A and B are shown apart, each in its own frame.
Chain A
């Protein structure tokens, strides 16, 4: 509880600082709007529905691309870990593409798919897939061989070993890869939405983009807030509990609340 208030105090302090800077009139209010302006924009955007629509559009793209990245990435990582040939080929490719900032996919996606949902999806999948592949591959390669041997003597074989021993044993690695993949997917989608204007739906990135075009700094800052908030929420509601479970089971860290 004490920690909660401490963090509340911290953010209240930041807000006050912001307001204070605005009142000192160092920068033009066009460049740095007051906090209340940002709140007012959020209120009106929520009231006329643009905000909710943008959130829904963005999350849809994000979750679909992320899901495809996971569904493709985990099995691919298992395969590259199982066969050295695949590790040396697809694994190396994954390693290389993972270092590529995902925004670099945008020009290619535009030329291939045009200004369409497919281009968005492609960019998000590329952002997610490779880090999941690499994390799964690394995770599997770190599984102590003794687990496999123990399972073998208990009558476990082939697919059963992969699903019931190797996969769960590699879980801590896979989850951290999923987390990284999530962050990459988020970044790549925002890049894509800012660059690519498509008519099939306006996402948060597009709102951000129009905010800049209209010199509406209150809109820009407000949307940035929303993006940060969604990221935090995803972490707190999904990744944090999973990680807590892993830490508790494996005994890898002291209990943190």
Chain B
């Protein structure tokens, strides 16, 4: 039911382009008893309380919970954008101390740069790879624009794109430096249902074709069941991982299938069961 696109390099692609596009082994991630407290005007808020988790190579893990349960904070800590008060994050055996392009983040708002056009945005991360020539970089960027189906829009300005197209560009930009892990912070939350459904299909396909480890934060239970190999449930105040669901459904998954709906309602029931849960969760 999804359009399958083939992604092939032009025969003229140089060896450095081929090397740049080769599959890197996806990352393995360990989070060990990470805690984080924020100071707010109303007093300290414990966003994370000794959270531990393991993510295998090439695994697609969804973090689900009410807003304010600390799941985005955890993602930022994994990205290296924030520091935990205690605990460690290890990616492939190395401590995560600062952000780096092995773990690229895709934000809820597109965070695309309005002063660059679509191609310029996808090129941004590639510009920091000194061994590539400009021609190589363009070829790599175009490869990923094709992957997300936006080849025709490479010269468009960001404000001319629809919300869905913006997130596709953001996905291409995140994929372009060939990270081994993608961290996605509610990337589809602001999109309409139809566009989201399309992107679920695309993302699954890209995940399979590019072999990345993906950690995906969402408050949408169905979305989590559709995308994740594993869904982790957070409870708020303080943020903790309370439960884990393995989603044993074949890919590509259709968000509207009944089997998926069953998983979603089980996850939802669990979430509602958390006494502390006074936030909102969308089904």
Contact = CB atoms under 8 A, between A and B. Distances in A.
Interface in A101-154: 144, 146-147, 149-154
Contacts of A5: none
User: What is the interface residue range for chain B against chain A?
Assistant: 20 to 34
A155 B157 contact: no
Contacts of A171: 115
A154 B178 CA distance: 10
Interface stretch (A204-212, A223-231, A244-252): A244-252
A50 interface: no
A149 B115 CA distance: 16
A250 B114 contact: yes
Given A146-B107, A251-B157, A153 B79 contact: yes
A168 interface: yes
B115 A154 contact: no
Contacts of B117: 249
A152 B115 contact: no
Nearest to B76: A149
B104 A168 contact: no
Interface string B158-175: 111000000000000100
B194 interface: no
A189 interface: no
B149 interface: no
B99 A152 contact: yes
The secondary structure that dominates the A interface is: helix
B222 interface: no
A188 to B, nearest CB: 31
Nearest to B98: A152
B137 interface: no
B111 A149 contact: yes
Given A146-B109, A250-B159, A251-B160, A153 B114 contact: no
A169 interface: yes
Interface string B91-135: 000000001110111010101011111000000110110000000
Contact of B114 (A149, A152, A249): A249
A165 interface: yes
A151 B79 CA distance: 12
Interface in B54-93: 79-81
- Chain B interface, >50% SS class: loop
A152 B157 CA distance: 22
A154 B101 contact: yes
B177 to A, nearest CB: 6
A156 interface: yes
B128 A154 contact: yes
A149 B117 CA distance: 19
Nearest to A248: B157
Contacts of B173: 154
A155 B127 CA distance: 10
Contact of A156 (B105, B128, B159): B128
Contacts of A169: 113-115
Nearest to B102: A155
Contacts of A146: 107, 109, 111
B115 A168 contact: yes
Given A149-B81, A171-B115, A248-B157, A155 B107 contact: no
A127 B141 CA distance: 45
A194 to B, nearest CB: 41
A156 B158 CA distance: 21
Interface in A78-94: none
Given A146-B107, A251-B157, A251-B159, A155 B101 contact: yes
Contacts of A249: 114-115, 117, 157, 159
A153 B157 contact: no
Interface of A: 144, 146-147, 149-156, 160, 164-165, 168-169, 171, 248-251
25 contacts: A146-B107, A146-B111, A149-B105, A149-B107, A149-B111, A150-B111, A153-B79, A153-B80, A153-B81, A153-B100, A153-B101, A154-B125, A154-B173, A156-B124, A156-B128, A160-B128, A164-B124, A168-B113, A169-B115, A171-B115, A249-B114, A249-B117, A250-B114, A251-B114, A251-B160
Given A153-B99, A251-B159, 6 more contacts: A154-B101, A155-B125, A160-B128, A168-B113, A248-B157, A249-B159
Interface of B: 79-81, 99-101, 103-105, 107, 109, 111, 113-117, 124-125, 127-128, 157-160, 173, 177
Q: Give me the 9 closest cross-chain CB pairs, A-B, nearest first.
A: A251-B159, A154-B125, A155-B101, A168-B115, A150-B111, A152-B99, A146-B111, A153-B105, A155-B128
